[in-house]
C-alpha cells in the first residue's frame, strides 16, 4: 500500500503541473468508469451478479415506454408494470422482452410509491432516438453516472486534498455495488450526486460572488426535488452526503471546542476548515432548501395519489408506503410478509450491513470492510497528533452518517433490501477506510525521511 501511495503522489505532482494531462486523465477516468458501468468491462462485479442485478426495478422503464407506445393511461406516474399472455416474469426481464419483440401489453398498472420522473425522461429519449432496445439508454446513463462521480471526486480533492479525492474515486471504481448500479435506468445514480455538486461548490467558493452561491442554492433545492421525483430511496443518505463538509467542521469544532467563528489551521491532509459560524449557517440553509425541494416533489406526489385531494393522498402515502418501509410501522397493520422487517430493531438491521456476503472492493473479498474498519479505528486510537486525530475521527463519523441514517430511518426497507443497500457505505465512508491507513503510512514515510 505504501508503494501505491508513492505512485499516487508522484503522479499527482506530474499531473498538477500540466493542464493538458489533467484534461486527458479526466476524460480517461470518465470513459473507463463508463465502460465499467455499461458492460462490466473490468469485471469489477461478478459476471452473473452484474447480469441479473436490478432487472426487477429497471423493468419499470420499459413498462412506461410500452404504456406510452400503446396509449395506456399512466395516471401521471412515470413508472409501472405491464402484463401480457405468456409473460410470467413481467417484474424482470419479461417486460424488456415485450419491448424488444413488440409484444403489446394487455394492461398497465402504475407504480405509485413515487412520481418516477426518470421513467418519463427515459421514455421520451427512447422515442426521440427511435430506439429498439435499452442499450443506448444504458450507455447514456453510464456516461452520466461516471461523469457525476468524477466531478464529485474533483470537488472532494479541492475540499479534503488530492489523496482523499483519488481514494473516493478508487472506492467507487473498484466497487462491484457501484458498478451494478451504474447503468441501471431506474436508479439513475447521477441524480444522487447532483445535490453534492452544488453544495460542495458552495463550500469551496463561499467567499466569492453572491450570485453563483445563490444560483447553487437554488440548484441544490431543485436537485433534491429531482431526486424525490425519481424516488425517495436513500434521500436521507444523499442529503447527509451533500452536507458532509459542513458537518465535519461542526463535529470537529464540538470535539476540539473551538470558539464560534474561529478558523482552525491547515492540516497535513490539505483540508482547510471554513469558519464554524459559516458551517452552521450553510448547514441550516442547505438543509432547509433540501426540505423545500422534497416538499415540492412530495406535494405533487400526494396530489396525484389522492386524485386531486392532497389530504387523502398524504394519508395513503403515510399508511401504505412510509409506515411499511420506514421506522415506526406496526407489523399487524400490514401483510405478514413484512412482519419480520417491521419488528426488527435497528441494531439487527445495522448488523446486517457489517457482515458482507459479497466483495467489498475488487480483490479484497468479503472481509475487506471489517479489516479496514478495525485497522482505521486502531490507527485513530493510537494517533499522537490530537488535532489531526479529532479531524479524522470527525470525518469518519460524518461519512458514516449517510449509510446509518437510511439503515435506521429506513429500517424496514433496509432489513429487506440487503441486495441493494450496501452501496450506501460508498458515500464517503469507504474512502475514509482507505484514507486513514494511507494518511498514517504517508506520515510514517515523512517522519522516516526527516530522521
Which residue, 246, 166, 150, 153, is CA-closest to 439? Answer: 166
Are 189 and 423 spatial neighbours (Cβ–Cβ below 8 Å)?
no
Between CA 412 and CA 341 the distance in angstroms is 5
Spell 231-249 as b/e; 16+ CB within 10 A means b.
Answer: bbbbbbbbbbbbbbbbbbb
pTM (predicted TM-score): 0.92
On whether the CB atoms of residues 187 and 181 are closer than 8 A, the answer is yes
- Vertex 399: Cα angle to 322 and 207 (nearest 5): 105
pLDDT digits (tens, 9 = 90+) for 15-68: 666 778 888 999 999 999 999 999 999 999 999 999 999 999 999 999 999 999
Please give the Cα distance from 181 to 231 (Å, whole number): 15
Torsional sign, CA 34, 37, 38, 44? positive
Q: Is the pLDDT of residue 260 over 50?
A: no
Got the DSSP string for 145-172?
A: HHHHHHHHHHHHHHHH-HHHHHHHHHHH
Task: End-to-end CA distance of the chain: give it in Å, rounded.
Answer: 22
Report whether pLDDT(405) > 50. yes
Phi then psi dihedrals of residue 307, to 5 deg: 50, 45
Compute and round to an integer the Cα radius of gyration of the chain.
23
Residue 359 confidence (pLDDT)? 82
Q: How does pLDDT run across 221-242, given as a tens digit for each residue?
A: 999 999 999 999 999 999 999 9
Find, among 289, 270, 192, the residue nearest to 442 by Cα.
270
pLDDT over 90 for what percent of the chain? Answer: 66
Contact 195, 227 (CB under 8 A): yes
The domains of the chain are located at: 58-132, 326-450
Give the C-alpha separation, 225 to 212, whole Å.
20
Tens of pLDDT, residue by residue over 179-194, are 999 999 999 999 999 9
The three cell numbers locating residue 365: 473479498
For residues 164 and 296, give the distance between their C-alpha atoms in angstroms, rounded to a whole number: 35
Task: Using alpha carbons, list the distances in angstroms from residue 79 to 67, 106, 108, 123, 220.
Answer: 10, 16, 10, 10, 25
Residue 259 CB: number of other CB atoms within 10 A? 8
Reference 414, options 327, 298, 328, 320; nearest CA is 327
Please, are residues 98 and 86 in contact by the beta-carbon 8 Å criterion? Answer: no
Strand partners, 109: 81
**How much is the pLDDT for 76?**
94
Residue 125: name the closest of 143, 112, 109, 113 by CA. Answer: 143
3-state helix, strand, coil in the chain (%, to 5): 70, 0, 30
For 323-349, how does the pLDDT look when each residue is reduced to its tens digit (9 = 90+)? Answer: 666 555 555 555 555 667 777 788 989
**Chain CA centroid to CA 91, Å:** 24
Residue-wise pLDDT for 102-126, tens only, equals: 999 999 999 999 999 999 999 999 9
Amino acid at each position: 500500500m505504501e508503494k501505491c501511495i508513492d505512485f499516487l503522489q508522484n503522479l499527482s505532482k506530474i499531473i498538477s503541473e500540466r493542464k493538458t494531462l489533467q484534461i486527458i486523465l479526466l476524460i480517461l477516468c470518465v470513459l473507463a468508469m463508463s465502460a465499467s458501468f455499461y458492460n462490466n468491462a473490468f469485471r469489477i462485479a461478478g459476471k452473473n451478479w452484474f447480469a441479473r442485478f436490478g432487472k426487477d426495478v429497471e423493468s419499470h422503464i420499459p413498462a412506461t415506454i410500452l404504456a406510452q407506445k400503446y396509449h395506456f393511461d399512466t395516471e401521471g406516474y412515470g413508472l409501472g408494470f405491464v402484463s401480457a399472455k405468456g409473460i410470467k416474469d413481467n417484474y424482470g426481464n419479461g417486460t424488456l422482452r415485450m419491448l424488444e419483440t413488440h409484444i403489446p401489453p394487455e394492461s398497465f398498472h402504475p407504480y405509485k410509491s413515487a412520481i418516477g420522473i426518470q421513467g418519463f425522461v427515459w421514455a421520451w429519449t427512447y422515442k426521440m432516438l427511435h430506439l429498439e432496445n435499452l442499450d443506448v439508454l444504458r450507455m447514456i446513463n453510464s456516461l452520466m453516472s461516471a461523469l457525476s462521480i468524477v466531478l464529485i471526486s474533483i470537488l472532494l480533492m479541492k475540499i479534503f486534498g488530492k489523496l482523499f479525492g483519488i481514494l473516493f474515486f478508487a472506492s467507487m471504481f473498484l466497487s462491484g455495488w457501484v458498478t451494478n448500479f451504474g447503468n441501471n435506468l431506474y436508479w439513475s445514480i447521477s441524480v444522487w450526486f447532483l445535490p453534492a455538486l452544488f453544495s460542495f461548490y458552495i463550500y469551496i467558493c463561499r467567499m466569492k460572488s453572491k450570485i453563483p452561491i445563490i444560483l447553487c442554492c437554488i440548484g441544490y433545492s431543485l436537485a433534491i426535488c429531482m431526486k424525490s421525483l425519481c424516488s425517495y430511496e436513500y434521500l436521507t443518505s444523499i442529503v447527509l452526503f451533500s452536507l458532509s463538509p459542513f458537518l465535519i467542521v461542526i463535529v470537529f469544532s464540538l470535539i476540539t471546542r473551538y470558539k464560534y467563528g474561529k478558523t482552525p489551521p491547515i492540516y497535513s491532509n490539505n483540508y482547510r476548515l471554513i469558519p464554524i459560524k459559516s458551517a452552521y449557517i450553510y448547514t441550516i440553509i442547505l438543509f432547509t432548501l433540501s426540505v423545500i425541494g422534497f416538499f415540492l416533489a412530495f406535494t405533487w406526489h400526494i396530489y396525484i395519489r389522492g386524485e386531486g385531494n392532497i389530504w387523502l393522498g398524504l394519508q395513503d402515502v403515510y399508511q401504505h408506503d412510509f409506515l411499511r418501509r420506514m421506522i415506526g410501522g406496526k407489523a399487524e397493520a400490514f401483510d405478514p410478509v413484512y412482519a419480520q422487517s417491521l419488528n426488527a430493531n435497528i441494531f439487527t438491521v445495522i448488523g446486517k450491513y457489517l457482515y458482507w456476503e459479497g466483495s467489498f472492493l475488487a480483490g479484497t473479498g468479503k472481509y475487506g470492510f471489517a479489516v479496514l474498519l478495525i485497522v482505521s479505528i486502531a490507527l485513530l486510537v493510537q494517533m499522537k497528533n490530537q488535532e489531526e486525530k479529532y479531524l479524522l475521527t470527525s470525518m469518519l463519523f460524518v461519512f458514516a452518517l449517510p449509510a446509518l441514517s437510511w439503515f435506521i430511518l429506513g429500517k424496514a426497507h433496509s432489513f429487506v433490501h440487503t441486495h441493494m443497500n450496501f452501496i450506501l457505505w460508498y458515500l464517503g465512508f469507504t474512502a475514509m477506510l482507505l484514507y486513514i491507513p494511507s494518511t498514517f503510512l504517508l506520515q510514517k514515510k515523512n517522519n522516516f525521511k526527516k530522521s
